[in-house]
Structure 1
Amino acid sequence: MAREKTWHNIIAVDLLEAGWVTRVDLGGRKLAVYDTPSGVYTSSALCNHGGADMCDGYFDGHVIECPLHQGAFDVRDGKPVSPPATRPMMTFETRIKEGMVQIKT
């Protein structure tokens, strides 16, 4: 039987870097939180291609570029948008509640 997913507070909204990427650690999991024009999104901070820290990559609007190989992903759904990225990155359902960014895991 699958465990039911629950919401977890990860960072206060006012601690996010405006229009940029903020690194957050949650129970040993490294996360990247993106402040975008359409809302806040969260992904694993590690690129699935080479393990680089996505928080060190170039971020523009809704696209994060891996600092190691320049593969890029859409942070809204994790889909790769430029090579060498071919697999989606891990993203998390994200919401804002009572001034906190929350993810569902």
Structure 2
Amino acid sequence: MNTPDTGGFTKVCALGDLPDEGVLGVEIADTPVAVVRSEGRVYAINDICSHAEVNLSEGEVEDGTIECWLHGSCFDLASGKPINPPATRPVATYAVKIEGDDVLVSLDKNP
């Protein structure tokens, strides 16, 4: 789901669409974004692993991290920084707003 931009934020899904400790891959203006719920918070990060260029949204979410399914690198959801090799470069993080049951993400405003 991709709706028009609202004040720099774009509605990407309903909060109910995100399972606990789960992820949903979306696209905003041709940018792949992983919208993740972990430990009761919602995060948005670039959906492409900085090491292998595969979708992080296909990986596992646990304890505020997401693991790349291909080589096992984990990324901190709050900062985008890799926690373990082989990834050495962070992925971009994006600002998230919850309005009612809507999850909105801004590519312009990093948290």
Output the TM-score relative to the length of structure 1. 0.86
- How well do the aligned residues superpose, as a CA RMSD in angstroms? 1.5
Query: Partner residue of 2:4?
Result: none
SS at match of 1:55: helix
- Counterpart pick for 1:56 among 39, 55, 58: 58
Instruction: Report matched runs for 1:1-105 at 5 Å.
Output: 6-105=8-107
Compute the displacement of 1:27 (Å).
2.9
- CA offsets 1:18-65 (integer angstroms, 9 cap, x no match): 221111222322211111114100111111111111111122121111
SS at match of 2:83: strand
Query: Partner residue of 2:3?
Result: none
Compute the displacement of 1:98 (Å).
2.4
User: Structure 1: any 5+ residue segments left out of the alignment?
Assistant: none
Matched to 2:45, the amino acid is: S
Alpha-carbon distance between aligned partners in 2 of 1:30 and 1:99, rounded to the nearest angstrom: 22
Output the TM-score relative to the length of structure 2. 0.82
